[in-house]
Chain A
Amino acid sequence: AQKVTQAQTEISVVEKEDVTLDCVYETRDTTYYLFWYKQPPSGELVFLIRRNSFDEQNEISGRYSWNFQKSTSSFNFTITASQVVDSAVYFCALSEVGGQGAQKLVFGQGTRLTINP
């Protein structure tokens, strides 16, 4: 069965430090998608990125970057020069094919990131 592991339960850093959130996944599918979501205190899950299993190129978006390595089944997320507004719970997720061919998401346990001023 699909599984996503985020070993870091909580991380606390000082503003402007770089921080990396780890994500390791398990799947038997050859085609799959990986995601990162941000959940601020308001509770709403905010989509950050989606990568498919055939695209191992790293991606950078502003201060955010993602490192996808199929060989180690990892999809890590780095925030450069962290800011207080980055404080949130971050979830890594994996899509699997559910009923009637529909995609369904399997989430990790989440990493609570606190950026201290």
Chain B
Amino acid sequence: EAGVAQSPRYKIIEKRQSVAFWCNPISGHATLYWYQQILGQGPKLLIQFQNNGVVDDSQLPKDRFSAERLKGVDSTLKIQPAKLEDSAVYLCASSLDPRDHEQYFGPGTRLTVT
């Protein structure tokens, strides 16, 4: 069974530029999560989708971050414009349903904003 796929693995941009990350969850997993992991910290949930609907985006900085999961499968997370403090690893995870306690994580995208 293929795991959670993410791309790109690494991205370097200048502040005020835009960037997008892509995630493809495990086949059949209805729930998809985006986490932000700043260096030296644990992951923090940004947004959670159930199929193509948003379940929780309470910690998403909506003035600059957006995410979509249009067909209920893969998802895109965008930052526009980026700030220095957005430098982090962005992790995507998926689970069978929102009550499923086991989340499967992708390898992450390491973003550096200069």
| A binding-site residues for B, Cβ under 8 Å | 4, 33, 35, 37, 42-47, 50, 91, 93, 95, 98-105, 107-110
Contact = CB atoms under 8 A, between A and B. Distances in A.
29 contacts: A37-B105, A43-B89, A43-B91, A43-B107, A43-B110, A44-B106, A45-B91, A45-B105, A50-B102, A91-B43, A98-B45, A98-B58, A99-B55, A99-B56, A100-B50, A100-B55, A100-B98, A101-B98, A101-B99, A102-B48, A102-B55, A102-B56, A103-B101, A107-B42, A107-B44, A108-B42, A109-B40, A109-B42, A110-B42
Given A45-B43, A91-B42, A91-B43, 19 more contacts: A4-B42, A42-B107, A43-B110, A47-B103, A98-B45, A98-B48, A99-B55, A100-B56, A101-B98, A102-B48, A102-B98, A103-B99, A103-B101, A104-B48, A105-B43, A105-B45, A107-B44, A110-B40, A110-B41
Nearest to B99: A103
Q: Which of B42, B58, B102 has the most CB of A within 10 A?
A: B42
A39 to B, nearest CB: 9
Contacts of B43: 45, 91, 105, 107
B108 interface: yes
Query: Chain B, interface size: which category?
Result: 20 to 34
B100 interface: yes
A93 B44 CA distance: 11
Interface in B19-55: 31, 33, 40-45, 48, 50, 55
A105 B103 contact: yes
Contacts of B108: 43-44
B65 interface: no
